[in-house]
Structures are given as C-alpha cells and as structure tokens.
Amino acid sequence: MPQETLLPESGEKLPQNRTIALVALGSNRSSEEGTPAEVVEKGIAALAKYFEVIRSRSPLYQTPAFPPGSGADYINAAVCIETDHPPQAVIKLLHDIEAQMGRTRKTRWGDRTLDLDLIGFGDIVLPDAETHAIWRALPLSEQMARAPDLLILPHPRVQERAFVLVPLADVAPDWEHPTLGLSVTDMLAALPEALKQEVVAL
C-alpha cells in the first residue's frame, strides 16, 4: 500500500497554476549518505523540502539493474508532487538534489547514488509530439549510446519499465500518458508478468 498518501478527495481541483509532477527515484550504490535505501528516503525528504506539496509516495522496492547485468540491484520508489514551477526548473532542482547526494554522471546507465527522473508533468509533451515519438521508438542499442540534449516529457521509456510503473501505480494510478492515451494502470497491465514480478516491495 502507498505510504504517507496525501491525495485530495476525488474531483478536487488543483490550485491555479499548479501541476502534478511524477518523480521516480533509484539508487544502487552506497555513499556517505548511507545505503541505497537510506539515500532514496533522504531523496524523498529533500523533495518534500523543495516542493510545495508531496501528494503521495510509494513504498521502497528492490529491482534488478537495467540493462540486465549492468550492476547491483536498485532500490526504487516514486513520488507525486504538486508544483507551480515549470518542468525545466523542476529538472534543475532534481539534479541539485542528486548532486547533494553525491551523484556523478560518468557512465550512462551506470551505478548511481541517487537517480531522480521526471517521468510526467501533467499532460505536457516536450519538446513536441513528433520528437517525443522519435525518442520513444529508439532501439535499446541507441538508448544506451545516446542521451537527449533537451527535456523529453513524458519520459520516453516509462511504458516499458516495471521498476518505474509499479511504484507509480501506488502514487498516480490514473495519470494518463498524454501521447499514448494509457493510464499508469493500463501501461503496467500491458507489461509481461515476469517483469512485474522482478519488482519486490521491501
């Protein structure tokens, strides 16, 4: 079950100019901040400090590294925040929190002390639907070699990743992907059962 759920009553509207942002957290390397589980908890605490409202957070999950065999298991979680910041400012804040937790960016998809991914931001698509479709369709070999030099929203791989969708289902099951037209629940249901079973609640 989700922890510290602060969701409003059904049908309640957001305050003007505020948007729901979905953030996925992951860690598979201990640091001065503690074990991966402790770092993820500290990351959630930092999000609560920097953003106006934490509407809901997931439990912690343990999942195999992606791509398979690329490192130690991850501790993952997700948070639903409410913010009036634009997505570019949210990304900067996420990167600042990563740096505070000792994150360095040397190897794409390498081990990391803390990874904070902005998964979705209301119904916003960035930079545009055509570019988003190109990044969403990249084969795995190109995903591993190329990183976008601009913000892509929603995250182009969210629909493929159980380690993101399982925690997201705890915090925002009804959030709808603005280009696929599928909810978090729909995307999770479409994944192979074997992938979902790899995501184990702690």
Give CA separation, 24 vs 57, 63, 147, 170, 202, in Å.
10, 13, 18, 12, 16
For 176, which DSSP code?
Answer: B
SS3 168: helix
Out of 18, 29, 73, 117, pick the active-site residue: 117
Known catalytic residue at 112: yes
Q: How many residues does the chain have?
A: 202
Those residues whose C-beta lies under 8 Å from the C-beta of residue 55, and which sit 6 or more positions away, are 5, 6, 7, 8, 20, 80, 81, 82, 171
Query: How many Å apart are CA 200 and CA 21, to the nearest integer?
Result: 24
Those residues whose C-beta lies under 8 Å from the C-beta of residue 167, and which sit 6 or more positions away, are 24, 58, 59, 61, 76, 77, 78, 199
Out of 55, 57, 103, 161, pick the active-site residue: 103
Known catalytic residue at 117: yes
Known catalytic residue at 18: no
Known catalytic residue at 108: no
Rounded to 10°, the helix 87-100/36-50 angle is 140
Query: How many Å apart are CA 147 and CA 143, to the nearest integer?
Result: 7
Cα 190 to the center of its chain, rounded Å:
19
Q: Which residues are catalytic?
A: 103, 112, 115, 117
